[in-house]
Structure 1
Amino acid sequence: MYKLLIVDDEPQILEGMKRILDWEHYGFKQIETSDSTEDAVFKAVDLIPDVAIIDVCIGKNLGYDAIHKLNEVNLPTKYIIISGYSDFQYAQQAIRCGVKDYLLKPVDRIKLQEVIEKIIIEDLHGTIRDVNADTMSIDPVLGIHYDALSKLVNRILIMIKTEFAHNISLKSVADRFQMNSTYLGQLFIKETSMKFSEYLMSYRMYRAQELIQTTNEKIHWIALSVGYNNLNYFYTQFQNHFGTSPSSLRMKS
C-alpha cells in the first residue's frame, strides 16, 4: 500500500488536497501533512512516502529546498509541485528537481488524477484497473457509467465538461452537430433524465463545490471560473442546489 505526504502552509489547502481524490481507492492507506519545509523533511525521512505533493512556496521557503534535501538522501519518493504561480523559473526548477509534474492552483482534480495514475503505473508498478472501473467511467452528475449512454450523449457531456465555463447552450451544441435542438434536447432527457440546462447547472455546481473545498480562492472568482458572471445568480443557484451557501460549505470542509 502507498504512502502520501502533502506539504502546504495553508490548512485549508491541506484539507482540500486530502479530499480532492479518493486516495484510499488508489491504494494510499497513509496520508501525512506538513506546513513547513523543515517539518516536511523530517516527516518524509520518517514516512518515506511513495508520493509527495509540495507547494512551491511554503512560508518564506521554497518547496524545492525540501526536495533537494530529500534527493540528497536518495528517498524513492515521487514529487508533484503545486503552485499559484505560472512563473517559468519555478517550472524550470521543478524539472531540475526531477518532479513528476507541476500543477497550477486551483489544482484540477482530473489533471491530478492523471498524474497519480501515471506514477502508480510507471513508477510504483501498480494497477489502477479498479479505480478506472469505479471512478473514471462514472459520470459525477448522473452517477451512471458512460457506456450506458449513446456516443452522441457522451459527446455532449464531453463538450459540457470542456466548455462549462463559457456560454454553452443546447442550441449552440445542436448547431455544431447540425441537428435540431428540440430533437437533441429530447434525446438528452431520454438518456439522462435531465434537461441539458439542468445537467449544465449541476456540473457547474459540482466544479464549484470542488474549488470551494480544495482552494482558498474568493467566491466571486470561483463563480466566474464555472461560468457565472452574475455573482448573486450564482449564490441563488448554489443555495438551491446544495441547501447551503458557498461560505458555509467552505467552513464545513
Structure 2
Amino acid sequence: MYKLLIVDDEPQILDGIKRTLDWEKLGFGQIETSETCEGAIAKAVEFEPDLAIFDVCIGKERGYTAIRKLNELRLPAAYIMMSGYSEFEYALEALHCGVKDYLLKPVERGKLQTLVERIIVEDLNGTLEDAHPDDRNVDPVLGMRYDSLSKLTNRILLMVKAEYDQNLNLKTVANRFRMNGTYLGQLFLKETQMKFSEYLMVYRMLRARDRIQTTDEKISTIALSVGYANLNYFYTHFQAYFNKSPSDLRRRE
C-alpha cells in the first residue's frame, strides 16, 4: 500500500484533496496532512510518503523549499505541486526541484486522477485496475513514451493536460518558461514532429470525443469544457479530425 502526504495551510483544501479521489482504490493505505512546511518535513521523515502533494504557498513559506530539503534527505517520494495562476512562476521553480506535475487550483478531480495514476505507474512501478500499464506511459496524441521525450517537452505536455480547457497557446507557454516562442515551437516540432497548435487541437479533440461518448452533456457545453469559446470553430476542427460531426459520433455510439 502507498502512503500519501498532503500539505496546504488551508484545512478545507486538505479535506477536499482527501475526498476528491478514492485513494484506497488507488492503493493508498495511509494519508497524512500538514499545514506547515516544518510539519510536512517532520511527517515525511517519520513515515516516508510515496507521494506528496504540496501547495506552492504555505503561509509565508514556499512548498518547493520543503521539497528541496526532502531531496537533500534523499526521501524517495514523488511530488505534485498545486498553484494558483498568480503563483505559476513559483510552480516553475518547483519543477526545477524534481516535482513531477503541477495542478492549478481549484484542483479538478479528473486532472488529479490522471496525474496520480501516471505517477503510480511511472514512478511507483504500480498497476491500475482496468488499465494496461504501458498505456499510461504513452502520450495519447504522439503515440510516444513519455520517458523517450525531453524534460522540457514533458513539461509542455503536462501544461496542455492541465490547461487545455483554457486560453492556451505557444506564446503563453513560452512566456511561462521565459523562452522565445519561435524557438520553443521549433524545439517542440523537432522532437514531436508536430506543431504545438496541432498537438493542442488534437488533445482537445480526444477529450471532447471522450465526453461525447460518455456523457449526455450538450455539445456546446463540451466545446467550452475543452477550450473552445467559438462553437463553429469547434465543429470545424471536430469534423476535420474525425470526419464526422459531434452529433453523428454520439448517434453512432
| Fold equivalence (TM over 0.5) | yes
Structure 2 unmatched runs, 5+ = 133-207, 214-218
Match status 1:31 vs 2:11: no
Give the AA of the match of 1:43.
K
Q: Which residue of 1 aligns with 2:13?
A: 13
CA contact (8 A) 1:25 1:131 kept: no
Aligned residue for 1:25, secondary structure, equals: coil
Q: Which whole-Å deviations, capped at 9, do the CAs of 1:218-249 have from their partners, x for residues lacking one?
A: xxxxxxxxxxxxxxxxxxxxxxxxxxxxxxxx
C-alpha separation in 2, matches of 1:156 and 1:177: 16
Q: SS of the residue aligned with 1:76?
A: coil
How does 1:207-222 map onto structure 2 within 5 Å? none
CA distance in 2 between counterparts of 1:131 and 1:22 reads 16
Matched residues, number: 171
Q: CA deviation at 1:156?
A: 6.3
Quote the residue 1:157 is aligned against.
Answer: 212
Where do residues 171-182 of structure 1 align in structure 2 (5 Å cutoff)?
none
Normalising by the residue count of structure 1, what TM-score does the alignment of the two structures yield? 0.56
Shift in alpha-carbon separation, 1:11–1:155, aligned structure 2, 3 A = closer
Going from structure 1 to structure 2, the CA distance change for 1:167 and 1:36 (only over 3 Å counts) comes to same
Residue 58 of structure 1: how far off its partner (Å)? 0.7
CA contact (8 A) 2:26 2:128 kept: yes
Larger radius of gyration: 1
- Given that 2:91 and 2:102 are in contact with CA atoms closer than 8 Å, whether structure 1 keeps it comes out as yes
Counterpart position of 1:52: 52
Task: Say whether the 8 Å CA contact 2:56–2:87 is kept in structure 1.
Answer: no
Q: Secondary structure of the equivalent of 1:90?
A: helix
In the alignment, the residues of structure 1 paired with residue 56 and residue 124 of structure 2 have an alpha-carbon distance, to the nearest angstrom, of: 24
Q: Is the 8 A contact 1:8 1:34 kept in 2?
A: yes
- Structure 1 segments unaligned to the other structure (5+ residues): 133-152, 192-253
After superposition, the C-alpha distances for 1:163-189 in whole angstroms (9 at most, x for unaligned) are 2487798xx969x769xx9xx59x969
- Mark the CA change 1:162 to 1:12 in structure 2 (over 3 Å): closer, same or farther: farther
**What TM-score do you get using the length of structure 2 for normalisation?**
0.56
Q: Quick one: structure 1 residues 167 and 72, their matched pair in 2 at CA, closer, same or farther if it must change by over 3 Å? A: closer
- The residue aligned with 2:95 is 95
* Mapped partners of 2:85, 2:229: distance in 1: 27
Residue type of the alignment partner of 2:224: E
What is the Cα deviation at residue 108 of structure 1? 2.1
Q: Is the 8 A contact 1:26 1:131 kept in 2?
A: no
Determine the C-alpha separation between the residues in 2 that align with 1:156 and 1:6. Answer: 30
Identity percentage of aligned residues: 55
Following the alignment from structure 1 to structure 2, what is the Cα–Cα distance between the partners of residues 64 and 155? 35
Q: Distance between the aligned counterparts of 1:128 and 1:162, measured in 2?
A: 30
Gap change, CA 1:167 and 1:91, over 3 Å in 2: closer
Q: CA deviation at 1:60?
A: 1.2
- Aligned-pair Cα RMSD in Å: 3.7
